């Protein structure tokens, strides 16, 4: 009996059948939906200039190359070599590429060479923008509230192989504007304007010998490792609106201007910008508020020793330009430093007799010093919006928007680490990955139908109100 069954199974493997590849792909397969919502012929317009019509051997269809890379990112396949292996045995992948069961799949090195050498990074940017435009045209984007954050991608570099080098500090976008306002504030308070410093500030940085473009990253319980930082802006429905990639040792706030300006130029209808505490700086709050938008940011725990007076207990009096301490003593204005902070100092003779001196300062001369930034009013305006109903509603959505985008990118689409080296190649790799995520979301969103989308929107609004009322 067993031998007969084995013989029957072996014979079935040798049967010849007339097969329609289209019949073998499930009707609700993701690749079917993607193929219906977007026309891949647009790719030819992006890459036409990089091909010669009368020179060399016949090239592999560029649409096929882009589809292979999209398959890799859509299904979280770690490498192109593995992607080509999967395409060889997966009927749905072959159908998506327009191949039959016997068509030879291009070698993975051909695909890798095309994106490493033939296609510049601008092509990947155009593909990302094209898919995003398709989502906008279909009414899938709601950019009234956007969410910005950053996450790290482990670089393809040995963390033990590095050198220490001196590097110039990155100039901030607002340095010139800050300098002007500092001098205006000093002149208004009877001080001489500060002279501009010509020397360049330097700092010691850890530089990888394997991938010099990456940066050393260390946070919390994470090991010290070389990484890249991916800065992302998304909207309520988790469509990614903008992406930027920097070395892992660049702070989130330093890249904000670049990312913010790009997304605002593309979506001027933005009303609220939601960000975490890393972006709660005087300049970022000022930039958002001056543009007529609302910064939605969390409470930021003030720095200071435990048991000492908190900074908010020292009240600034704008009319008299002084600070009032918890014991109602006046701290007088002394100067405005190069960092944009107004310095207020107490009277050491009065402080020496204060019973709360130990809770106020540890200074040997019994003098309390308070620093207040010239743009501190913008921080206070951000705090006012944080306490409003709109501020609470918008910030509570971070967990299901930007944090969900990062979780999906790492768990489902293979963005925990990269095999690529160099900032340009990693940036193109990340941008194509988020383009694939947008494409996937677009296909799912379109095929759910208008009634389902309306139901999801209303349900989210009602559930959000219920959560807030419960709090």
Contact 374, 337 (CB under 8 A): no
Q: What is the mean pLDDT of residues 195-214?
A: 81
What Å distances lie between residue 366 and 308, 336, 345, 358, 382, CA to CA? 15, 22, 11, 9, 34
What is the rounded distance in angstroms from the CA atom of residue 149 to the CA atom of residue 232? 6
Q: pLDDT over 90 for what percent of the chain? A: 63
180 has pLDDT over 70: yes
Q: Which tens digits make up the pLDDT trace of 403-459?
A: 999 999 999 999 999 999 999 999 999 999 999 999 999 999 888 865 445 545 554
Q: Which tens digits make up the pLDDT trace of 297-334?
A: 998 776 677 888 888 889 998 888 999 999 899 999 99
471 has pLDDT over 80: no
Q: What is the mean pLDDT of residues 271-282?
A: 93
Q: Which of 146-155, 166-175, 346-355 has the lowest mean pLDDT?
A: 166-175
Q: Which tens digits make up the pLDDT trace of 8-55?
A: 666 666 667 777 888 889 999 999 999 999 999 999 999 999 988 888
What is the rounded distance in angstroms from the CA atom of residue 165 to the CA atom of residue 299? 37
What count of other Cβ atoms lies within 10 Å of the Cβ of residue 23? 9
The domain spans of the chain are 20-119, 139-298+379-425, 311-374
What is the rounded distance in angstroms from the CA atom of residue 119 to the CA atom of residue 168? 32
What is the rounded distance in angstroms from the CA atom of residue 91 to the CA atom of residue 315? 69
Phi, psi of 334 (to 5 degrees): -120, -45
What is the rounded distance in angstroms from the CA atom of residue 122 to the CA atom of residue 120? 5
- In this prediction, residue 470 has a pLDDT band, given cuts at 50, 70 and 90, of very low
pTM above threshold 0.85? yes
Q: Which tens digits make up the pLDDT trace of 348-371?
A: 988 988 988 888 988 888 899 999
200 has pLDDT over 70: no
Q: Which of 97-106, 160-169, 307-316 has the highest mean pLDDT?
A: 97-106
Q: Is the dihedral of CA 259, 261, 267, 272 positive or negative?
A: positive
The rounded mean pLDDT for the chain is: 88
What count of other Cβ atoms lies within 10 Å of the Cβ of residue 93? 22
315-317 and 294-296 beta bridge pairing = unpaired
């Amino acid at each position: 009996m067993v031998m007969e069954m084995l013989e029957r199974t072996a014979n079935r493997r040798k049967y010849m059948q007339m097969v329609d590849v289209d019949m073998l792909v499930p009707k609700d397969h993701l690749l079917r939906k993607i193929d219906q919502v977007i026309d891949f012929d647009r790719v030819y317009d992006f890459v036409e200039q990089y091909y010669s019509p009368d020179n060399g051997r016949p090239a592999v269809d560029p649409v096929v190359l882009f589809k292979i890379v999209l398959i890799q990112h859509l299904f979280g396949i770690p490498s192109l070599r593995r992607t080509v292996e999967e395409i060889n045995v997966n009927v749905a992948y072959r159908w998506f590429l327009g191949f039959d069961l016997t068509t030879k799949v291009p070698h993975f090195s051909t695909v890798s060479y095309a994106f490493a050498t033939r296609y510049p990074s601008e092509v990947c940017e155009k593909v990302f923008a094209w898919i995003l435009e398709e989502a906008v045209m279909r009414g899938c984007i709601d950019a009234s509230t956007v969410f910005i954050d950053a996450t790290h991608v482990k670089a393809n570099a040995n963390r033990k192989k590095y050198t220490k080098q001196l590097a110039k500090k990155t100039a901030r976008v607002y340095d010139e504007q800050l300098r002007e306002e500092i001098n205006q504030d000093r002149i208004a308070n009877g001080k001489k304007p500060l002279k501009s410093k010509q020397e360049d500030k330097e700092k010691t940085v850890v530089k990888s010998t394997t991938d010099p473009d990456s940066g050393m990253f260390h946070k919390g319980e994470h090991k010290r490792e070389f990484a890249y930082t991916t800065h992302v802006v998304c909207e309520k429905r988790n469509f990614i609106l903008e992406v930027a990639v920097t070395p892992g040792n660049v702070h989130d706030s330093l890249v904000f201007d670049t990312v913010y300006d790009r997304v605002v130029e593309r979506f001027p209808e933005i009303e609220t910008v939601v960000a975490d505490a890393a972006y709660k700086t005087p300049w970022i709050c000022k930039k958002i508020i001056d543009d007529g938008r609302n910064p939605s940011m969390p409470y930021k725990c003030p720095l200071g020793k435990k048991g000492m007076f908190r900074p908010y207990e020292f009240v600034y009096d704008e009319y008299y330009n002084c600070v009032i301490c918890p014991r109602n003593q006046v701290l007088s204005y002394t100067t405005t430093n190069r960092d944009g902070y107004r310095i207020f100092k107490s009277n050491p003779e009065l402080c020496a007799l204060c019973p709360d001196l130990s809770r106020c300062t540890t200074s040997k001369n019994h003098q309390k010093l308070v620093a207040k930034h010239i743009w501190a009013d913008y921080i206070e305006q951000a705090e006012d919006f944080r306490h409003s109903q709109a501020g609470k509603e918008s910030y509570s959505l971070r967990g299901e928007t930007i944090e969900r985008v990062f979780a999906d990118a790492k768990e489902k689409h293979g963005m925990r680490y990269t095999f690529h080296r160099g900032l340009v190649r990693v940036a193109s790799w990340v941008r194509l990955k988020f383009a694939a995520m947008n494409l996937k979301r677009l296909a799912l969103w379109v095929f759910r139908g208008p009634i389902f989308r309306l139901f999801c929107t209303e349900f989210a609004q009602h559930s959000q109100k219920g959560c807030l009322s419960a709090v």
